[in-house]
Structure 1
């Protein structure tokens, strides 16, 4: 954890009109960013799509076709969780990232579903889900090439893919990885509002602001299990 506040890590103190003027100046950029995100979303809605083969995944009750993972919905978001077979703890970033999704019922109104797919064996995946208190539905692609075919091969990084179902046909409509997944997280949005931000070394912050190595303040997998697992104390 980073050190707590010091007298050198404080914004300058000004009168109300000066503060309001600075906020109004920032608001211009914030509004421009909002409009740009709207334009990006509009372009995303106009993307073409590619038809996928009839993949078979493995769910809690055994083999399941990809089309059935939609559970009757027309749209499906998949988070591809990094996995190392047999490891006690899986990727801390993926574990922490997906731990925030505990109420996904609102997606029903949009004819959509959000699930996790990992390349790990389903028994290991479900045990890990319980261990860290994850609330999402998990599937395994260990018996198919699905992960590799959509940018999340075994031994590689995490990713997000979005799919559209038309009858029994499934189409891939969008993909991202790396920091592209941040738009799905409320945690970064909250932290970025704070005066000190993420406090990571790479960020552009005023002199004297708290700094720490990248990722060092993130919850690691054991932290998530301690907070949200079966014996957690949130």
Structure 2
């Protein structure tokens, strides 16, 4: 459970005056959190960069492309490490939830000098089938057998998974079934060089799931029972 949800059927009902008093108290907490998030975002933007020295080559429907090509002339790039394993029929609901938001949001952040691309280890034909099913049009390329997904710790060799846990989410996690996981990585391009500026995994990706913010405003919240996001489905499977 993300948080305890009061019983919807017999939720406390008070006068408008009492509700306003409780709301104003809660507003102070909301404002404090907003200011704390502003500080956190500023700290994120100030994090040091690492130059990407390796030349990564990806498979796209149009042929071979490099990481620099994915910038499409802009100075910033966000990569969605989409969890799509070669030969697997499983399409990650969480990754798809992010992609649903990206499909419409990117028309705005592309105007703010930020490009988007999804990258998976699955081959292009497998990626294209998922794109067609879900109605997505954003750039999505295959890292194939390159080191990209392994270097950014969203793919794991059998040896890595067996050596005290897979190197994921800035630590070691017991990942026994999946060969791929999800994440978000940010890159900058300056004077022809590419830099890795930030990555986040697990619940860090909730920043991109705008529908959760709408649900969090509702009385039932995310209406979850058991594990977080246990209710989530592909948008054509509800």
State the TM-score, normalized to the length of structure 1: 0.83
Do the aligned partners of 1:75 and 1:162 also contact (CA within 8 Å) in 2?
A: yes
Do the aligned partners of 2:82 and 2:95 also contact (CA within 8 Å) in 1?
A: yes
Q: CA deviation at 1:199?
A: 2.2
Q: CA deviation at 1:102?
A: 2.3
1: CA distance, partners of 2:8 / 2:71:
52
Deviations 1:171-223 (A, max 9, x none): 0000000001111111110111111111224xxxxxxxxxx55433212x3xx
Q: Matches of residues 116-127 of structure 1 in structure 2 within 5 Å?
A: 116-127=118-129
Q: What stretches of structure 1 of length at least 5 have no aligned partner?
A: 1-6, 202-211, 228-234
Find the counterpart in structure 2 of residue 136 from structure 1. 138
SS at match of 2:185: strand
2: CA distance, partners of 1:140 / 1:91:
16
When the two chains are superposed, the root-mean-square deviation of aligned CA atoms in Å is: 1.8
Q: What stretches of structure 2 of length at least 5 have no aligned partner?
A: 1-6, 157-178
Q: Matches of residues 46-195 of structure 1 in structure 2 within 5 Å?
A: 46-52=46-52, 53-103=54-104, 104-153=106-155, 155-195=179-219
Do the aligned partners of 1:54 and 1:67 also contact (CA within 8 Å) in 2?
A: no
Q: CA deviation at 1:97?
A: 2.5
1: CA distance, partners of 2:69 / 2:78:
13
